[in-house]
Amino acid sequence: MTPEIFIASKAAQAVKEIYNAEVDPATLQVQVTRKEFEGDYTLVVFPLLKISHAAPDATGTALGEWLTANCPEISAFNSVKGFLNLSLSNLYWRESLEGIIAAGKDYFSLPSTGKKIMVEFSSPNTNKPLHLGHIRNNLLGDSVSRLLSAAGNEVIKATLVNDRGVHICKSMYAWLHCMNGATPESCCKKGDHLVGDCYVAFSQLMKKEVDELVASGMDKEQAEKECPCMKAVHEMLVKWEDGDADTRALWAKMNGWVFDGFDQTYKALGISFDKTYYEHDTYLLGKELVQKGLDMGVFVQDPDGSVWCDLTADGLDRKLLLRSDGTSVYMTQDLGTAERRFAEYKLDSHVYVVGDEQNYHFQVLKLVLAKLGFDWAERIYHLSYGMVELPEGKMKSREGTVVDADDLIEDMYLEAKATSEESGKLADITEEEKEKLYHMIGLGALKYFILKVDPKKKMLFNPKESIDFNGNTGPFIQYTHARICSILRKAGSDAAGIAGTIELSPKEIRLVQLLSLYPQKLAEASDAFSPAVMANYAYDLAKEFNQYYHETQILKESDEAVRAARLALIKCVSEVLAATMALLGIELPERM
């Protein structure tokens, strides 16, 4: 029970006893007391005046007197202009800590909602390896899935592999004409990296052809449509959709290279999916919906054969759904996959984790689905997040100026290794343990640095700043956990409870206050689809523990009851830190 719920329930009892009136505790407003006033939590008195028929201060005083006289958990009060500020007693915080300890693992999840939610994330194109932008997407999607699951929902983690289309054909064309039959084995590269090289090679080839056409007098926009390589790519896409054997064979081979590469990157990040969809399976479903929309009169077909949805009456524009040659676009397959998923899983909601450059796309998707008569369209949520930028600016895949995910993971490992070795604190662990620790620290630094930023904000990634063992970083929290584990090992005791007569110090009360916030923070983070809430909560808890540790005797405490109580408290801190960071996909080491 949170302090707010506890106070509301006791205040409802006070109203019953003083005024002989029933009030629902859920309707009472309780909030953290403002810093300029004495107290821990404040009850808003104004809604109760119609029951008390008295002035605000008189009503607050009457309630405060009853609460302090009848509730040993409430030690003092002051009534200020309709706000009743209450101080919780040492007993309350001791009982809170005992309650957290007694709850065990149950403390780290909320009651079942009975809801089923699909979270789609990653959803890469098979024309390039994963990069830093994909990492933010994957880490957000994975963490949001963990949050929603801990908040009592059944979660299906899904990805849609965009494995067909113009962008895929560009890489295929470049492999045929620029790569001399290279394979991952022949060039000693991961398959997704080789295909990414093809994509860059196509962009360079296209630029050359466009420049030549522009030099001959054609305007650039027309040149980009008329250049030989782009015409060939569109012909290749038509062949693919017609089932041409050679085109399909090359497509399958190159996609296989990419899938192998993706799997290695996902494994390194600790990412997995419950369901994988492929665009080559779903784009035809979308075509069926387009025909349905034409039959309903919702869509229109232009003289050239292209199909559109006119959204001008909704304040938007006309949206292309099928090209004049009959090939589909992204919107087509998104319509089909949405219908399949809601039908297959009976979803209560669907969360798409996609960058904010696609805000308009999802606005259109929901509107078109609603026009097709799907009442679940409003239960689609676009988790729009800001792009990751580098000090030198925005990344561009076509120019090959991206931070490769595999390279970044390796760099983080090397940075963690160098920083850890400089500390000189790993002499007593094996080389195998060291390697595991370096990977744990490197990944923890990367994940925390990205997830501590609110998803809606753009972010600037700085690898060196992320690996710092001080400040708001993953390694700082990991080190805090390792420090607590070290204390508990030296104590030789797994304290399982806290003596009810021990007086908690102000610093200990502050730690218990933070520990008691966990369920509230979990609910807040899952409601907002924001892992940043939990990341910064973990930092606040770790920071508060370190201040407590530097000011308090634990192992050297002579009073055995006090020592046991403090061990129980810090063990609880370590468990809450571990549970919180697990929601971010981050492991905490026991030695560091």
Complete DSSP assignment for 262-323 = HHHHHHHHT---SEEEEHHHHHHHHHHHHHHHHHHTSSEE-TTS-EEEE-GGGTS-EEEEE-
The pLDDT of residue 499? 56
- Within 13 A of 247's CA, how many CA atoms are on the CB side? 19
The CATH code that applies to domain 3-88 is: 3.30.1360.70
**Range(s) of the chain covered by CATH 3.30.1360.70:** 3-88
Residue 24 pLDDT exceeds 90? yes
User: Which amino acid is residue 248, in one-letter code?
Assistant: R
Beta strands 388-389 and 380-385: pairing type? unpaired
Task: Supply the pLDDT for residue 404.
Answer: 87
The Cα–Cα gap between 233 and 251 comes to 13
By CB atoms closer than 10 A (0-12, 13-18, 19+), residue 489 is exposed
The reported pLDDT for the residue numbered 21 is 96
Question: What mean pLDDT comes out for the span 543-557?
Answer: 94
User: Residue 323, SS3?
Assistant: coil
What pLDDT is attached to residue 429? 81
Terminal-to-terminal C-alpha distance of the chain: 35
What average pLDDT does the segment 34-47 reach? 94
| pLDDT at residue 1 in the model | 76
Strand partners, 85: 42, 78
- Cα–Cα separations (whole angstroms), residue 261 to 75, 191, 255, 442, 586: 62, 5, 10, 21, 23
Please give the order of strands across the beta sheet that includes 154-161.
275-278, 154-161, 116-120, 349-355, 380-385
Q: Which residue has the tokens 């085109």?
A: 247
147-164: average pLDDT: 96
Task: Give residue 333's pLDDT band: very low, low, confident or very high (50, 70, 90).
Answer: confident
Q: Give the whole-angstrom CA distance, residue 415 versus residue 331.
A: 42
- What is the spatial distance between Cα 32 and Cα 94, in angstroms, rounded to a whole number? 19
The residue among 185 and 397 whose pLDDT is bigger is: 185
Longest dimension (CA), the chain: 93
pLDDT for residue 391 is more than 80: no
Q: What are the tens digits of pLDDT across the range 249-259?
A: 999 999 999 99
191-215 vs 245-269: helix axis angle to the nearest 10? 120
- Are 111 and 152 in contact by the 8 Å Cβ rule? The answer is yes
Asked if pLDDT for residue 74 goes beyond 60, the answer is yes
Flag whether pLDDT at 68 surpasses 90: yes
More confident residue, 394 or 257: 257
**pLDDT at residue 398 in the model:** 43
Cα dist from 493 to 151, 273, 485, 574, 576, whole Å: 32, 39, 11, 15, 19
Q: Which residue has the tokens 């304040």?
A: 315
Single-letter code of the amino acid located at 549: Y
Q: What is the DSSP letter of 55?
A: -
Instruction: Give the three-state DSSP class for 476.
Output: helix
Element (H, E) at 529: none
Residue 460 has pLDDT above 90, yes or no: no
* Structure confidence at residue 444 (pLDDT): 95
440-455 pLDDT per residue, tens: 999 999 999 999 999 9
**Structure tokens that stand for 187 in this block:** 């060039």
Range in 110-124, 150-164, 241-255, 457-471 with the lowest mean pLDDT? 457-471
User: Under a CB-based contact definition with an 8 Å cutoff, are residues 542 and 535 in contact?
Assistant: no
Q: Mean pLDDT, to the nearest integer, of 411-423?
A: 85
Query: Are the beta carbons of 74 and 10 closer than 8 angstroms?
Result: yes
Using the predicted structure, report yes or no on whether residue 397 has a pLDDT greater than 50: no
CATH node for 405-582: 1.10.730.10
pLDDT at 495: 53
Question: Which of these, 10, 1, 2, lies nearest to 77 by C-alpha position?
Answer: 10
pLDDT of amino acid 390: 67
- Mean pLDDT for 334-343 is 93
Mean pLDDT, the chain, as a whole number?
Answer: 92
> pTM (2 decimals)?
0.90
* pLDDT, tens digit, 9 for 90 and up, residues 187-201: 999 999 999 999 999
The SS3 of residue 588 is: coil
Please give the Cα distance from 295 to 52 (Å, whole number).
64
Rounded to an integer, the average pLDDT of 96-118 is 94
**566-579 pLDDT tens trace:** 999 999 999 999 99
| pLDDT mean over 366-370 | 96
Q: What mean pLDDT comes out for the span 125-140?
A: 92
- Residue 17's CB is within 10 A of a number of other CB atoms, namely 12
Rounded mean pLDDT of 354-375? Answer: 95
Does 424 score more than 80 pLDDT? no
User: What single string gives the DSSP state of each residue in 321-388?
Assistant: EE-TTS-B-HHHHHHHHHHHHHHHH--SEEEEEEEGGGHHHHHHHHHHHHHTT-GGGGGEEEEEEPPE
Contact yes or no for 131/400 (Cβ under 8 A)? no
What share of the chain in percent tops pLDDT 90? Answer: 79
